Structure 1
């Protein structure tokens, strides 16, 4: 599943290419979008802004129309020069936005909706979304406050499950959930109520640092939303970029213990951890 960093890079690449441009053509394989385009055509509208909010991508058009998309597990936005051959089959196309020079194509996007500013403000997911860890307005103190509040509301929820909750802090996905918990030295199965304030601060600071490092200009600024090249370690070797994610059965890069994996939470997401670097329980600091 694309995480907040890939959605951020996609929004940035789209903004740089089609932001401010006039739509010359719109095509969709989704009936609910086609109906809106029939009633209030996209063609002739200006693309005012493209932004990411956590794992959501929003394209704002003139005339108070917003295209909201979520990639879930398989979706991606691609960007092509006019008349350039697509790298995915046409059967996978869900949305095409054309400008004089570019075609922005959404493939296999499972969630795509048109909204006005008013309807977007009432959207059940957007309304409840937590602070975006990649937003320029994100503050570590705010992130800590959200974790503290959630620990009071759901004390028995495990740390790694909480990190995936987009209503707490938005943008983190399964890769970062594992990497952040490892780097912070916190067992991912600990209940939220066992975390100290210092540990919460370390979690937020680490998550913010990892995510920002992976959206710097020059690091994967392409349009396709895939996790290739993502790293949490200071190495460019493809086999050494991450600490624990998908390293079940391998030696820990810090202590040499064997990395473990277990399914976790209602969604049964894979959680990887080092039993030595991330002991089952720790004394609160």
Structure 2
């Protein structure tokens, strides 16, 4: 499932491949996009830039035209050299943007809309996004204040709220709570300032570690499976997500899972490392990727 780090990497790669180039051909499976293209052709426009805003990806064309896409659960952008065979069939194609050297193809992207700068400000979701965790202008104080504003809600649900902080998805939700020793079903009102600070800082660090740039001039859209432990071993890349019934990497207690929120999203946690009543101040986290000595033998 694409989260903010995936969208950030996609936007970075698309920008590297497309920015400054003229569109030589535009194709789409969506009638509303095709209608805009028929009336005000995308072909011939210059691609000015591609950027990520949380889980949204925006492609800016000259002449005040912006393509806005959201991947939801299964969408993705691919980049090919012009004429290169696609890895997926045309049945999955939703948008194609061709330039002299590259083809950017949106596969199974469920949300794709054209906007102007003016209409984008009236978009139902994008202008209301919280601080973007991967933005250089990220404000920790604003993020903490937005979390505090949801005092009656469970913290894991609040972390998924894109109007609180933009970018976090279901994997990071569980991983961040674990790293900060916060039970994901605790109410925001029960959290100390130190705990909220840890959640914000850890969210930013974890996502940042998964968008590190690669060396050289190559265009890379995929850098391997998401990691939150800092461990180079692919089998040890996450702390608790997807590990229900397996031993906690810190203490050996079996990891639990329960559905949470309106969307019934899967939430994972360790009942030993994340007890409901433990204060963060009693056992501060020293670093999200710092290995912690196990209490029991044979931890997975």
**Fold match by TM threshold 0.5:** yes
Aligned to 2:33: 33
Q: Distance in 2 between matches of 1:137 and 1:145?
A: 16
Aligned to 1:245: 241
TM-score for both structures, normalised by structure 1: 0.95
Corresponding residue to 1:169 among 162, 165, 188: 165
Q: Distance in 2 between matches of 1:274 and 1:228?
A: 26
> Equivalent residue of 1:167, what SS?
coil
Q: Distance in 1 between matches of 2:224 and 2:230?
A: 15
Q: Check conservation: 2:179, 2:202, Cα contact below 8 A.
A: yes
Aligned counterparts, 1:138-157, within 5 A: 138-151=138-151, 155=152, 157=153
Question: Unpaired segments of 5 or more residues in structure 1?
Answer: none
Aligned residues: 279
Aligned to 1:265: 261
CA-based RMSD of the aligned residues comes to 1.5
> Equivalent residue of 1:186, what SS?
coil
Q: Check conservation: 2:16, 2:219, Cα contact below 8 A.
A: no
Q: Check conservation: 2:182, 2:280, Cα contact below 8 A.
A: no
Aligned to 2:186: 190
Q: Check conservation: 2:181, 2:280, Cα contact below 8 A.
A: no
Q: Distance in 2 between matches of 1:235 and 1:22?
A: 42
Deviation at 1:9, TM superposition (A): 0.1
Deviation at 1:234, TM superposition (A): 2.1
Residues 175-201 of structure 1 show CA distances to partners (whole Å, capped at 9, x for unaligned) of: 100100000000000011111111100
Aligned to 2:155: 159
> Equivalent residue of 2:248, what SS?
coil
Q: Distance in 2 between matches of 1:84 and 1:117?
A: 33
Q: Check conservation: 1:150, 1:168, Cα contact below 8 A.
A: no
Distance of aligned partners of 1:260 and 1:72 in 2 relative to their CA distance in 1, 3 Å threshold: same
Aligned to 1:49: 49
Aligned to 2:294: none
Question: Unpaired segments of 5 or more residues in structure 2?
Answer: 282-300
Q: Distance in 2 between matches of 1:230 and 1:284?
A: 26
Q: Distance in 1 between matches of 2:230 and 2:77?
A: 28
Distance of aligned partners of 1:182 and 1:172 in 2 relative to their CA distance in 1, 3 Å threshold: same
Aligned to 2:285: none
